[in-house]
């Protein structure tokens, strides 16, 4: 049986985590696929929750939530490529284990991808904000702007779930 080492916390602050993720954005954007060219790679939010780190990334092919070890109660080491379910906001979310030479071990979950992607960066930021609220991870979203009334993006849990279902 292969033994996987524990993942020690690597990030001392939100700024350190954000800088590490921003350095990797071109790679994450390439891995996400073509998607929507109107979505520019961006670290939308970084926050510490129950001792571990969460980050949301907007890339052309998806909106993703990343979980990174912070010494808290949510992180659980699993073999690379394996899945685990984590309950956030009353729902089970499937996280997939990955490793990056600069970030170390992390786990990711697609919030939205494919045909359900927002049409604009403004809409993507609203969806990220709604997703964080739905998951119980309220945090400010970087460069968030108010989306014009009638653009199809509604706020809150309902808006996130409508976007997840591909409805506008």
Domain ranges, ordered by start, for the chain: 14-164
CATH class of 14-164: alpha beta
What's the confidence (pLDDT) of residue 167?
52
Q: What token pair was written down for 25?
A: 């954005």
Between residues 85 and 102, the one the model is more confident about:
85
Between residues 99 and 161, the one the model is more confident about:
99
Please state, rounded to an integer, the average pLDDT across all residues of the chain. 81
What's the confidence (pLDDT) of residue 36?
84
The fraction of the chain above a pLDDT of 70, given in percent, is: 77
**Residue 86 clears pLDDT 90, i.e. is over it:** yes
The fraction of the chain above a pLDDT of 90, given in percent, is: 46
Question: What span, in angstroms and rounded, lies between the C-alpha atoms of 168 and 166?
Answer: 7
Question: What span, in angstroms and rounded, lies between the C-alpha atoms of 50 and 131?
Answer: 18
Spell out the residues 6+ positions from residue 104 whose beta carbon is closer than 8 angstroms to its own. 7, 8, 10, 68, 69
What's the confidence (pLDDT) of residue 6?
60
| Of 21-30, 31-40, 89-98, 120-129, minimum mean pLDDT range | 31-40
Between residues 153 and 72, the one the model is more confident about:
72
What's the confidence (pLDDT) of residue 158?
58
What are the angstrom distances between the C-alpha of 53 and each of 16, 17, 27, 50, 142?
A: 11, 8, 20, 8, 16
């Amino acid at each position: 049986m292969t033994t996987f080492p524990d993942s020690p916390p690597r990030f001392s602050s939100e700024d350190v985590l954000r800088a590490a993720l921003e350095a990797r954005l071109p790679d994450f954007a390439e891995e996400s696929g073509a998607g929507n060219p109107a979505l520019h790679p961006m670290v939308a939010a970084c926050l510490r929750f129950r001792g571990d780190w969460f980050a949301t990334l907007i890339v052309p092919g998806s909106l993703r939530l990343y979980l990174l070890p912070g010494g808290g109660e949510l992180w659980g080491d699993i073999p690379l490529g394996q899945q685990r379910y984590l309950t956030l906001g009353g729902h089970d979310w499937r996280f997939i284990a990955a490793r990056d030479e600069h970030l170390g071990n992390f786990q990711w979950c697609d919030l939205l991808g494919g045909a359900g992607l927002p049409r604009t960066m403004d809409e993507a930021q609203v969806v990220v904000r709604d997703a964080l609220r739905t998951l119980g991870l309220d945090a400010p979203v970087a460069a968030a702007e108010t989306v014009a009334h009638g653009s199809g993006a509604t706020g809150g849990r309902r808006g996130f779930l409508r976007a997840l279902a591909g409805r506008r």
